[in-house]
A and B are shown apart, each in its own frame.
Chain A
Amino acid sequence: MTGRLVIDYGPDLEAEIEKMEAAIEAYPAIRDRFPARWLALELLEDGDDLRVRLAGLVGGERVLAAADESQARLQARFGDTASVQIPNGRYDWINALVRETVTQSRTDRTPVSDRIDTVVTHRWFGLPIFLASMWVVFKLTVDISAVFLDWVDGVMGGPIARWMATLVDVLGLGNTWVKSLIVDGVVAGVGGILVFVPVLMALYLSLGLLEDSGYMARAAFVMDRIMRRLGLQGRSFLPMLVGFGCTVPAIYATRTLQRRRDRVMTGLLVPFMSCGARLPVYVLMAAVFFPRSRGTVVFAMYLLGILVALVLGLLLSRTVFRAEAPTPLLMELPPYRLPTLRSVWLQMWRRTAVFIRDAGTIILGTSLVVWLLMAIPTGGGSFSEVEVEQSAFGAVSSAVAPALSPAGFGSWEATGALITGFVAKEVVVSSMSQVYGVEDGPETVASAAFVADVQEIGASLFQASADTLKAIPSIVGIDLLDGADQARQGSLATAVRGGFEESSGGHGALAGLAFMVFVLLYTPCMAAVAAERHELGARWMWASILGQTALAWGMAVLVFQVGTLMGWG
């Protein structure tokens, strides 16, 4: 090919280019420095640096004025896409050239990634595959990690509690309130929640595997269709996926949404995604009341959260937030790959570290406040030597408890745990450890030698590892642990079961289920409330707090009352 290459940009653009060329040719200072057509194209395409250079040349102002006039006419003709008309013409030309000159050899083999995608992102199969994947995740998380959970529980409640008590005795504080503070406050509170670290590690490991393999991106793709039906942008599901880890960054992630309507609506729905902090509550309650199907029960809670968000989203988009046509979403799906051990491990560790860090800050602080409230007598007795029910904590909890009676868990213990849960959901379990397990201190345990304790920890770790392997077939219903679950349930589980049976008139399992529903639906934590205020404003923050609490109460009552009427539990 010889001669100058000239792309035809179509009559509208060519007319403007011609006018620009005429303006440029009129000024030698410009004409001699730049090819006229090239300069015209650059100016029409927003050549900012050229504008600066032209401004200093004779006639530059006139040429720039001509460019502005041309752009205004193109804007009127092409609207929003005026700024891409020139590259559009260029790409059209390239595309035509490629079609004429390039012959593509047909390959019969579709890439593996594409073949997998035709199934996992299928319009009908995509959602069931996503749900099945999540079910396996929760079976793995809850059933397999339960063995290690028991091991940590044994270590916390046994050797560690004994060492702490011994240390306090050695310091000469054995007969003071300090011992109660350490044992009933710190060990029971913080230790009670650290027990669940293996569960969170298992969850984050499973999710990390899904993310690293590229599957989670497909899950977002599948859920996009459902989001659109709610009148939400597909991108709304991304904050919701983040919400499975922690609600706070999920609320901040709503910033990725363009329209305020979508940001507010998604911000209101995100708290219904079960964050990692709620998992210990589910695991505890499921182990107490549904030991044979705890993995499925925990999965059902996560699913219920999604369902509530979907139904509420549908209602909101039909009422408060009238649906506008959602903008279509283009996703760049990464290719599938084998997860790397290093990446998955790092991700799991970073997420679990946040939980452990919280145990040392917010949970420790709340545990100490709970202990203080439990140590302050409201009737008789002296500081730290008072029945919990007669303490300030018991008095406040007892005052609120009747409101929760219709849901079957109107005891002061359960109510107190839920009140502290407003601070953070991890605190629910640590408070339960304090209020239910408060009489189960290490004083009742025979002291053991330090070396014997260490040996016990090592032996039980080995046993836990062996039991973990045995627990793997339980995913497909094969129980090699031979029903050891019941035997493994500790004093907290027994106390919780007794308390719920009593408050529900013998429908403990139903009350336990209603309690889980309440925990799922009410305000996640104070940090989430702060994030809502920051991102959505005070009005929506209050709407969220009140709405979630009312919904949590209503759903918990519904579960318990309907269940009782139907004779379940």
Chain B
Amino acid sequence: MLERLLSSLREASGPISVDDLSNRLQVERSALQPMLDLLVRKGLLTEGTDVDTDVACCGGACATSCTGIQGCPFVAGGMPRTLEIRSNN
């Protein structure tokens, strides 16, 4: 099942939503979620939110500071969780 999941992702010609994947694999979305989490834990998928947060908003160039990427008001709040196959580069 996990191999089929990874194959579906590798063979996708464009972006794929979790719902699409759920339909392709004929697996409930709720069942798919732990599989994705497992693949992230095993390092086969990477998550888009893995960002270091200790950066100043203005890179130290202006007299202001902020809480970093995760707390930044400009980092859009409604962004989807994104996962992709880990690249070796």
Q: CB within 8 Å of B: which residues of A?
A: 80-81, 83-84, 87-88, 91-92, 94-95, 114, 117, 121, 123, 207-208, 210-217, 220-221, 224-225, 228, 233-235, 238, 241-242, 245-246, 248-250, 252-253, 255-256, 258-261, 324, 327-334, 343, 347, 350-351, 353-354, 357-358, 361-362, 365, 424, 525-531, 533-534
Quick check: A221 and B87 within 8 Å, CB to CB? no
Report B26 CB to chain A, min CB distance, Å. Answer: 8
Cα distance A32–B29 in the bound complex, in angstroms: 41
Number of interface residues of B (CB under 8 A): 58
Q: Closest Cβ of chain A: how far from B71's Cβ, in Å?
A: 9
Report chain A residues within 8 Å CB of B57.
246, 248-249, 354, 527
Q: Given A347-B73, A530-B60, 16 more contacts at CB 8 Å?
A: A221-B15, A253-B51, A256-B51, A258-B86, A327-B84, A328-B12, A330-B83, A331-B18, A331-B82, A354-B64, A361-B64, A525-B61, A528-B59, A530-B58, A533-B59, A534-B59
Cβ A233 vs Cβ B84 within 8 A: yes
In the bound complex, residues from chain A placing their C-beta under 8 Å from that of B50 are 256
7 contacts between A and B (CB under 8 A): A87-B2, A207-B76, A216-B78, A241-B79, A330-B45, A331-B18, A530-B58
Contact, CB under 8 Å: B1 / A332: no
Q: Which residues from B are CB-within-8-Å of A92?
A: 1
The 3 closest A-B pairs by CB, nearest first: A245-B74, A211-B78, A530-B59
- Name B43's closest neighbour in chain A (CB-CB): A83
Residue among A81, A121, A530 making CB contact with B3, cutoff 8 Å: A81
**A361 — which chain B residues lie within 8 A by C-beta?**
62-64
Whether B18 and A241, one on each chain, are in contact in the complex, defined by CB atoms closer than 8 angstroms, is no
Bound: A534/B57 CA distance, A: 12
In chain B, positions 43-70 with a C-beta closer than 8 Å to chain A are: 43-46, 48-52, 55, 57-64, 66, 69
Which of chain B's residues has its CB closest to A364's CB? B63
Docked Cα-Cα span, A261 to B45, in Å, equals 19
Q: Are A358 and B82 in contact (CB under 8 A)?
A: no
Cβ distance B72 to chain A, nearest Cβ, rounded Å: 4
Which residues does chain B contribute within 8 Å of A228, judged by CB atoms? Answer: 14-15
Q: Which residue of B lies closest to A93 (CB)?
A: B1
- Residue from A95, A250, A330 with most neighbouring chain B CB atoms (10 Å): A330
Contacts of A208 in B (CB 8 A): 77
Spell out B's residues near A (CB within 8 Å). Answer: 1-3, 6, 9-12, 14-19, 21, 27, 35-36, 38-39, 42-46, 48-52, 55, 57-64, 66, 69, 72-87, 89
A249 and B17 contact, Cβ closer than 8 Å, known pairs A91-B2, A258-B89: no
Assembly CA distance A215 to B3 (angstroms):
31
Q: Are B73 and A216 in contact (CB under 8 A)?
A: no
Q: Cβ of A329 and Cβ of B16 under 8 Å apart?
A: yes
Count chain A CB atoms within 10 A of each CB in B12, B79, B81 and give the residue with the most.
Answer: B79
- Contact between chains at A249 and B60 (CB < 8 Å): no
**What chain A residues lie within 8 Å of B9 (beta carbons)?**
328, 330
Contact A252 B80 (CB under 8 A): no
Taking a contact as CB atoms under 8 Å apart, the answer to whether B83 and A84 are in contact is: no
**Are B59 and A248 in contact, CB atoms less than 8 angstroms apart?**
yes
B73 / chain A contacts, CB cutoff of 8 Å:
245, 347, 350-351, 353-354
Q: Is the CB of B61 within 8 A of A234?
A: no
Contacts of B16 in A (CB 8 A): 328-331
Q: Is the CB of A252 within 8 A of B69?
A: yes
